[in-house]
Chain A
Amino acid sequence: EVQLLESGGGLVQPGGSVRLSCAASGFTFSSYGMNWVRQAPGKGLEWVSGISGSGGSTYCADSVKGRFTISRDNSKNTLYLQMNSLRAEDTAVYYCAKMVFGVVFGYMDVWGKGTTVTVSS
């Protein structure tokens, strides 16, 4: 069964850092682009960051550029999101998602259950 399981969320102070992880199973992880998508409380979906299957290409939304870094370890089938200089507006459920066709900018056919990041003092 194809599965994604996020972890690492929690309560973080403004200006703080946290690293999210997403453990993948049931598919050839290195063959697929992966993305992080977030959803603020009561709001819609926002694409955050994406990475190619090899990890050689990465992309970030303007709202997080310079603060968030996406990476992956294909030997561990794990995706990461390093989040620095956190702000209240980064409070959200963070989902990792697998791309349908392997490319970074595509469609997301498998999603994790999400991990919640709350930025508050």
Chain B
Amino acid sequence: EIVLTQSPATLSLSPGERATLSCRASQSVNSYLAWYQQKPGQAPRLLIYDASNRATGIPARFSGSGSGTDFTLTISSLEPEDFAVYYCQQRSNWITFGQGTRLEIK
């Protein structure tokens, strides 16, 4: 099983700041990695797929990068609605998720 480790567990930032979230895989997943956003009481929403492609309707402030084992989700300038939990997910070998990063308002 491919284990995805996200860091940090919690990230405290203010609106307008830049957020950088990390996801590390226990073995290479090539570029087969996605990022999801989940708000309380809601289902996850797909943000990024294949490491760097924005899903339909996702604002340009969200970007993804990386390949192999190290991946990054960047939110260039935080909006109030961006504070949520973010998960990475790989599809290289079955499907696994990271444990999540909580992005909270500082």
Question: Do A and B share a complex?
Answer: yes
Q: Which residues of B contact A71 (CB under 8 A)?
A: none
Query: Contact mask A78-121 → B, CB, 8 Å, 1/0?
Result: 00000000000000000100001000011111011110000000
Contact of B97 with A46 in the complex, beta carbons under 8 Å: yes
Query: In the complex, which of the residues A47, A107, A113 contacts B49, with contact meaning CB atoms closer than 8 Å?
Result: A107
Asked if A107 meets B91 with Cβ closer than 8 Å, knowing A95-B43, A114-B43, the reply is yes
B46 part of interface (Cβ distance < 8 Å): yes
The CA-CA distance from A106 to B46 in the complex, in Å, is 12
- Which residue of the partner chain B has the closest CB to A100? B49
Asked if A50 meets B98 with Cβ closer than 8 Å, knowing A44-B87, A45-B87, A109-B55, the reply is no
Interface size on A, residues (CB 8 A): 20
Q: Using a Cβ cutoff of 8 Å, how many contacts connect chains A and B? A: 52
B96 part of interface (Cβ distance < 8 Å): yes
A35 part of interface (Cβ distance < 8 Å): yes
Report the minimum CB–CB distance from B38 to chain A (whole Å). Answer: 8
- Which residue of the partner chain B has the closest CB to A35? B95
Q: Which residues of A contact B14 (CB under 8 A)?
A: none
Contact of A50 with B95 in the complex, beta carbons under 8 Å: yes
Q: Which residues of A contact B42 (CB under 8 A)?
A: 113
